Chains A and B, each alone.
Chain A
Amino acid sequence: GDSVTQMEGPVTLSEEAFLTINCTYTATGYPSLFWYVQYPGEGLQLLLKATKADDKGSNKGFEATYRKETTSFHLEKGSVQVSDSAVYFCALSERGNQFYFGTGTSLTVIP
Chain B
Amino acid sequence: DTAVSQTPKYLVTQMGNDKSIKCEQNLGHDTMYWYKQDSKKFLKIMFSYNNKELIINETVPNRFSPKSPDKAHLNLHINSLELGDSAVYFCASSLTSGEETQYFGPGTRLLVL
From B43, B48, B99, B103, residue with most partner A Cβ within 10 Å = B99
A103 to B42, CA, bound (A): 5
Is B97's CB within 8 Å of the partner chain A? yes
Q: How many residues of A contact B (CB 8 A)?
A: 25
Is A38's CB within 8 Å of the partner chain B? yes
Name A42's closest neighbour in chain B (CB-CB).
B106
B93 shortest CB reach to chain A, Å: 12
Q: Which of A31, A96, A98, A106 contacts B41 (CB 8 A)?
A: A106
B84 shortest CB reach to chain A, Å: 19
Are A93 and B107 closer than 8 Å at their CB atoms?
no
Is B102's CB within 8 Å of the partner chain A? yes
Q: Which of B33, B99, B101 contacts A46 (CB 8 A)?
A: B101
What residues of A have a CB within 8 angstroms of the CB of B48 in the complex? 98
Are B107 and A43 closer than 8 Å at their CB atoms?
yes
Task: Give the interface residue-count category, chain B.
Answer: 20 to 34
Q: Which of A31, A44, A106 contacts B90 (CB 8 A)?
A: A44
A106 to B41, CA, bound (A): 9
Are B41 and A38 closer than 8 Å at their CB atoms?
yes
Indicate with 1 or 0, residue by residue over B79-113, a CB within 8 angstroms of chain A CB atoms. 00000000000101000011111111111000000
Is A12's CB within 8 Å of the partner chain B? no
Is B15's CB within 8 Å of the partner chain A? no
Residue numbers of B with Cβ under 8 A of A are 4, 33, 40-43, 45, 48, 56, 90, 92, 97-107
Residue numbers of A with Cβ under 8 A of B are 31-32, 34, 36, 38, 42-46, 49, 51, 87, 89, 93-99, 101, 103-104, 106
